[in-house]
Amino acid sequence: MSAPPATLDLTDLDLFVNGGHHAVFDWLREHDPVHWNATRDGSGFWAVTRHGDLVTAYREHGVFSSAAGAMLGGSIGSQIDSATGLMLVASDPPRQRQLRHVLHGAFAGHLLDRVREQVTGLVDRAVDRALADGGCDFATEIAPELPAGALMAMVGLDHDQARHLISLTRRMIGYRDPVLTEGGGTDRFGLAETQAEIFEFFADLLQDPRMTRGDGLVGLLSRATLNGRPMSEEEVLFNCMNVAVGGNETSSYTACTGALTLTAHPEQHERLLSEPVLLEPAINEMLRWASVNAYVQRVAKRDFELGGTTIRAGESVTLWNVSANRDARVFDDPHTFDITRTPNRHLAYGSGIHRCIGAQVAQIELETLFGRVVRDKIRFTLAGPPAPLRSNFILGTTSLPVHVTAERHH
C-alpha cells in the first residue's frame, strides 16, 4: 500500500471499532513513522508507530514528560491533566520514583499470593457456572472476575464493592461507549461525574479504620510519606484510582481478546490444550495481540529528533503500543497469532520507568484463567457477535457471548 489509507485520523473511534487501525499503522510504520495527526480544534499530536522509536521515547523520560496525563484530552476543560504530579502515571522523576517506591508495597509477595488465591476462587466459580449453563457472556461474567479478585486481595473489598468499582472505572475509560454509559457515549461531564464517584468510593474507604490500619492499598497509602511528609488525601485518592483503573482494564480485556482469538484460531487453541508448557508464551502472545492500552501520551520538554523527525518542545506525542506490537522489524509474521512466539518483546505493559507496575498481577490473573482452560480442556465457540469498546485508548470488548464446554469438569 503506497498511498496513505483514506482514514488517517487516529482520534476516529470507528477506525478502531471496525478493526481498520492495523492497516493504517502498517502504512505509517513504512511511510510516516512519526506522523503529525492534526485535530479539529487546530492543534494536533505526533503519533510514534515503530517499536524501536517507542522504546527510545519510553526511555527518554527526561525529554518526554508524563505529567500531562496518559490519555489525550483526559482532563475536563484543561490541557493539563488534573492528576499532574499527584498520580504515578502523570508524574516525572523524582516524584515518579517516590510514588512508585510507595506503591511497590501494594504488590508485595504475600499480597500477590492473596491475589492468586482470590482470583482462583472467583474464576473457578464463574467458569463452573458457564459450564453448567453451557455458555455465558465472557466479557461480563468471567473476565471482570480477574480484576475483582485482585481488588478484593489488594484493597480488602468484598465482591460487590469490587464489581461496583470495576463498573465505575469501565464507565470512566469507556465514557464514549453507549453500552457502558447507558446510551450516552459522548458526555464529557459524565466522565467528570464518574471520576468524582471513584474518588468518593475511595474517600469512604479512607474513613474506615479497618482499611487504614490494614496491609492493603488504602492502609499503605494513608500511612505513606513522600519527602518526609504524609501523602495528602488527594495524592492517596489519585493513586488508588491509578491502581484500580490500570488493573481493571488490562487483564480483563486481554482475557476477552485471548478467548476470542482462540475461537478464531482453533488450531492454536488445540495446541495450547495439548501442550500446557505453552501457557506462558500463549499469554504473552495474547498481550501482544490485544495491546489493550493502545497508546500513551507524552509531552516534549525540549526539541528532540525521533525517527528522523524533529519534535518541538511543548508538542504532544502519542506512543502507539498497538502499532509497535505488530512491527515486522521486531516480530516475524506480526499479523499471525502464534502461541509459540519467542522471544516476544511486546510493549503491552509499556517500557522503562513507567512500565506497568501491576504487570505481575495481570500475569497471575491471566495464568489463573487460562491455566484452568488448559487443565480442563475448555473450549469456547462464539454464540453471537462480540461488541468492541468504543475507544482508541483502551482496546476492549463489552460483550462476548460464547458456548463453553470442557473435557474434564469437577
Tell me: the pLDDT tens digits for 75-99?
A: 433 344 566 778 899 999 999 999 9
Pick the residue with more confidence: 83 or 150? Answer: 150
Predicted pLDDT at 80: 47
- Summarize the confidence of residues 275-283 as an average pLDDT: 98
Residue pair 231/240 in contact by the 8 Å Cβ criterion: no
Q: Is the pLDDT of residue 253 over 80?
A: yes
Q: Which three cell numbers stand for residue 393?
A: 485508548
Q: In what order do the strands lie in the sheet with 135-137?
A: 135-137, 401-406, 378-382
Predicted pLDDT at 93: 94
Compute the half-sphere exposure of residue 167: CA atoms within 13 Å on the CB side of its CA.
Answer: 13
Pick the residue with more confidence: 81 or 336? Answer: 336
- Summarize the confidence of residues 142-148 as an average pLDDT: 98
Decide yes or no: CATH 1.10.630.10 for domain 13-406. yes
Which runs of consecutive H residues, i.e. helices, occur in 134-232? 145-155, 159-173, 188-206, 209-213, 217-223
User: Residue 45: exposed, middle, or buried by beta-carbon count in 10 A (0-12, 13-18, 19+)?
Assistant: buried
Centroid of chain to Cα 77? 25
Residues in the chain: 410
- Which band of pLDDT confidence, cut at 50, 70 and 90, is reported for residue 389? very high
- Summarize the confidence of residues 368-395 as an average pLDDT: 97
Compute the half-sphere exposure of residue 267: CA atoms within 13 Å on the CB side of its CA.
Answer: 4
As separate numbers, helices (DSSP H) first and strands (DSSP E) second, the chain gives: 15, 14
Q: Domain residue spans in the chain?
A: 13-406
- Summarize the confidence of residues 292-315 as an average pLDDT: 97
Predicted pLDDT at 83: 65
Rg (CA), the chain: 21
pTM, two decimal places = 0.95
Q: What is the DSSP pairing of strand 44-48 with strand 316-320?
A: parallel
Q: Is the pLDDT of residue 169 over 50?
A: yes
- Summarize the confidence of residues 386-409 as an average pLDDT: 94
> Within a 10 A sphere around the Cβ of 343, how many other Cβ atoms?
9
